[in-house]
Structure 1
């Protein structure tokens, strides 16, 4: 971290004083390809920002919090528009709001964000966010995207839009690897033996027992866990209908997740692939150690080209039922382009998560 120079700190302090005392500074939207340092730059900014009213949160967690607050406002108050008291609360808590991995893939989120950002900017909140997409590419070709365009226009008006794209994925630069390999393949007896040995080492030979996580009025059963280590299969957490809320809850309770039997995925498995991507995002954000066994190497566990025909047929059937124009089949949300794009980020993170400075110290 760069040293805090008095002159620099004083300059930043003058910039981020209360909005009632001076003009509100423009927000910042940083975008670029995977592994180019966007999150690192935002974290450096956040850590050196000399104010108390600031919040740094991953976009998945931010939207989960937003949905939970909206539900609470609707069930406990008579507010006709829950976004207004929500924006009031967020503005009171955070003058500067930083979140990572801004993306919009859901129509409900798109509509909430359009209204919420308008109210937050009106209240003087400064947004600092990172994304793999330029604002104009957000929710591209999504259902009813035209309704989201005003939010894009608002971001372009209120934010400095900065490209941080050196062409290098710094996560893929050679790093010192952990003493023990942590991404094991193929799925055979030798891999199973290695996984068992790593499990014993990390749990200090404690017996594995089930644990039930209770949150948001629901339950998630972890079939095997001990000493802060969860052992789950790909089928347990990616083939079942779990969401970002489940994965964010998991990483609160476990410093290490042993994920076994990861299959080779194609576009026929796009739902499982998206859950896997979301799980990796949650683990990366929380700096959780991943031990994994897979059918193929990291670079070969996902094929975005295979299975496209089946996806197109499924989408056409769904669109016929919803009476949506068939031209929507070209949408990246439906053809799997979003999954292919997001998987590149996941692969980049998986490579970094094998490094010595990332892996649980018990394996050093």
Structure 2
């Protein structure tokens, strides 16, 4: 199995085009055509992680965080990023990062937090925009079933809990083929009218290439008329953070003690307790201050995240409890999630959960 074949499997789970625009995801180091001897899954790719990969004979590191985030102008080993890249290249180790592509996955980072905290009835906290597209195309009536089936098989027409969704309108199309054409219907240099069906069908943007390939492969016309538009509808299955409910309400302090234990947090920074019972919880792995307002609007009584600054705690405004449990702590179970996924997809393959400690923050 090659690096590319493994990353294709990962991208079925977390398509890279769902990553945030500021991010740097995908294959960061290495040859995509190299054969994989073993996979090491980690939260961060540091020098000790590369050493672990060498010892375990893994030449592909699947990392949540990207070791290369900004452009490198020199690679001299002057800092930890450059040293990691040099060591990986010296030992022919590829490094692949998922980061916000996995953050935005409904079954990704935040779903894992919800699972650990026992939350139910979960949904995306901040649905991602511009991820739903609509295909409009025109086909002769006798080809409608073939085209629709091909598009459905390519992943189009899925809306929430429903599949095979489309809308069709009958009409008449016209065209005139010139001397260089090879028309399926009609004659050269003669205006032709054909009863056609307009198909409208939605799909997620990660499926665009597959949907278009299915259209072109199965459409009977030499030239396929189609258009793709991006819809303003929010995608409720893709986005940052999650909100869910506790099976039974809990007092604020009791719930935070539960969170501290479940997430192995050494300490929790939080805003003022409001004396409310906690029944609805918002979570966002990693730096989550940007989601404070969304958490308040969701009706949650508490927001679990990290990297909250001093003045950002004021945004609680006596409407919610903000709890910072630590960046590493919110994302630590991500590598377990990826190991479980890869093990199911590639059974009997050397997939290792990194044992290296990569949390840079210590507590006295």
What is the TM-score normalised by the length of structure 1?
Answer: 0.23
What is the TM-score normalised by the length of structure 2?
Answer: 0.23
| Structure number having the greater helix percentage | 1
Greater gyration radius: 2
